[in-house]
Amino acid sequence: MGIYGLGIIGACMFAGCYLGNLLGAALGLNSDVGGVGFAMVFFILIQVYLAKTGKKLNPKTEGGIEFISALYIPVVVAMSMNQDVYSAVASGLVPIISGILAVIIPLLTIPLISKLAKD
């Protein structure tokens, strides 16, 4: 099975990581700062440009891009979660309590929002 659209995504990722490394170096860090975020911004800008100019991608390419996009969010969230959990445990109790509350409070408000939406 071929996955189309990887060239576009790869170019955006390369440019984003390069910019993220430049930003990290400018901040005095030996790390990529926001490279994946920059890559996604570049990717969105390319899609907006193609839409405005009326150029269409091959349907297979669009399908491949949608496939990779569906994988992107869970993978990045899992990577970020791993880093955040390590930082929280190393930093003490306040970040851990904040993280727990950030999950519990929205879960408790779902029934309230649901009741308001029905009225």
Confidence band, pLDDT 50/70/90 cuts, at residue 1: very low
For the chain, domain boundaries: 6-118
Q: Indicate the pTM of the whole model.
A: 0.56
Q: What gap in Å lies between CA 3 and CA 8, rounded to an integer?
A: 12
Segment 33-72, tens digit of pLDDT: 788 888 888 888 887 888 788 888 788 888 877 777 777 7
**31 φ, ψ (degrees, to nearest 5):** -155, 160
d(CA 42, CA 15): 8
